[in-house]
Amino acid sequence: MTDPVHVDPLVTETADRLFSEICGHEAVQLAETRGEAPEIWNAFADTGFPWVSIDEAAGGSGGSLLDALEVLRVVGYHAAPIPAAETGILGGWLLASSGQELPAGIVTVVPNGGSELRGSVSGDELTVSGRALRVPWARVAERIVVPLEVDGQTVVASIDVEDCHVEPMTNMAGEPRDTVDFDEVHVPVAPTESGIDLEAFRFRGALSRAALMAGAIEKMSQLTVSYTNDRVQFGRPVAKFQAVQQHLVWGAQDAALARMVAETAAREANRGAAQFEIAAAKLIANQAAARATKACHQAHGAMGMTQEYPLHHLSRRLWSWRKEYGGDAEWTKWLGKVAVSQGADQLYPLITGGSANFN
């Protein structure tokens, strides 16, 4: 295997062009009202993008994890209302890692944390019961992927959405985060490859959110620069005022920072051990989202608080993603344990060397 360190520029261009055409403000708004966006999903699926990074032999589109995360960054940039992470690098990855078939349609995955699910194995059969919370886009999924620890091993249940009960719920951006009830659903037992467990899934989920957030913060920063250069008060564009420039600079810094850490974590994850980078990237993305949404909203004034202006598609997603796959406290704690266990002399080598410096 080669070790691709750079994203194929064609991936960025193609994804960006696709969403620029079909995923404007009205389309995203409509998806929120309807709770689904089949036209956007179908156009996205036609390109094969949802399955990038999953081997062709396993039914995927091939390509690297770096490429897949770049697609997610572009999805975040356009606030595309589709379960791109769930179908590909989360659900698709779990299915491929447990030797299961990739369906043609939408896949979602039950995030770990908060759900009360029970799995029991009897012979070749796994039985899943309980309630899963905040499952992205379950209502439009073909299959719901459930990773579980059962008897000390990690197994992946691939469940037909027809075999469970879905109750529509949403996140702060109005995107589906449904409640799903499983009542003794029987599926074949499918253990994961070694090294792929609930912890690895948690980190991968965080990596997906860091990529989405990097895209959304960048778009938000650009939108704010454009708006403040157009908006005239006291006879000149408000972007000329120092007090407003402060918000523009802070937004741009957080856009640059969030993208840098997401891309650096992606590079390391593409190679192997990347726990430090992913944890740090998600924490930094969370903090950047908090600061940048505040700065960009402030610079927009009242217009940014309306539904007719597109800022909220980005800011509300960022507030939601900040809490998904680990909020500030979870990753701060994880990082704190690592930093303290390294000790004073190894603190700086941890900062420069990252995951390569421990384990």
Partner 1 sequence: MRFTPTELTQEELDLQQEVREFLAEELPPGSHEPCLGMAARKDKDFSLKMAARGWVGMALPKEWGGSDRTAVDRFIVVEEMLRWGAPVGHHWVGDRQTGNVILKFGTEEQRERFLPAICRGELGFSIGMSEPDSGSDLASVSTKAERASDGWIINGTKIWTSGAHENDWFVCLLRTSPMEDGNKHAGLSQILIDLRSPGLEISPIPFLDGSHHFNEVTFNEVFVPDTNVVGDLGMGWHQNTTEMAYERGGPDRWLSPFSTVEQLLREARGTELEDTVADLFGELAARWWGIRNLSLSVARLIDTGEAPSVESSLVKEMGTRFEQEVVEKLVHLIDLEYSPDSESLFERLLAQCVVTFPGNTIRGGTIEILRSVASKGLKGLPT
Return the HEC string of the chain. Answer: CCCCCCCCHHHHHHHHHHHHHHCCHHHHHHHHHHCCCHHHHHHHHHCCHHHECCCHHHCCCECCHHHHHHHHHHHHHCCCCCCHHHHHHHHHHHHHHCCCCCCCCCEEECCCCCCEEEEEEECCEEEEEEEEEEEECHHHCCEEEEEEEECCEEEEEEEEHHHCEEECCECCCCCEEEEEEEEEEEEECCECCCCCCHHHHHHHHHHHHHHHHHHHHHHHHHHHHHHHHHCEECCEEHHHCHHHHHHHHHHHHHHHHHHHHHHHHHHHHHHCCCHHHHHHHHHHHHHHHHHHHHHHHHHHHHHHHCCCCCHHHHHHHHHHHHHCCCCHHHHHHHHHHHHHHHCHHHHHHHHHHHHHHCC
Least Cβ distance, residue 344 to partner 1 (angstroms): 4
Least Cβ distance, residue 342 to partner 1 (angstroms): 8
Least Cβ distance, residue 333 to partner 1 (angstroms): 6
Q: Residue 131 or 323: which CB sits closer to partner 1?
A: 323
Q: Residue 126 or 258: which CB sits closer to partner 1?
A: 258
Least Cβ distance, residue 249 to partner 1 (angstroms): 5
Q: Residue 212 or 238: which CB sits closer to partner 1?
A: 238
Q: Residue 188 or 336: which CB sits closer to partner 1?
A: 336
Least Cβ distance, residue 313 to partner 1 (angstroms): 14
Q: Residue 118 or 333: which CB sits closer to partner 1?
A: 333
Least Cβ distance, residue 264 to partner 1 (angstroms): 5
Least Cβ distance, residue 348 to partner 1 (angstroms): 5
Q: Residue 179 or 222: which CB sits closer to partner 1?
A: 222
Q: Residue 124 or 345: which CB sits closer to partner 1?
A: 345
Q: Residue 190 or 211: which CB sits closer to partner 1?
A: 211
Q: Which residues in this chain contact partner 1 in the complex, by CB under 8 A?
A: 219, 221-223, 225-226, 229, 239, 242, 245-246, 248-249, 252-253, 256-257, 259-261, 263-264, 267, 276-277, 279-281, 283-284, 287, 331-340, 343-345, 347-348, 350-352, 354
Least Cβ distance, residue 328 to partner 1 (angstroms): 8
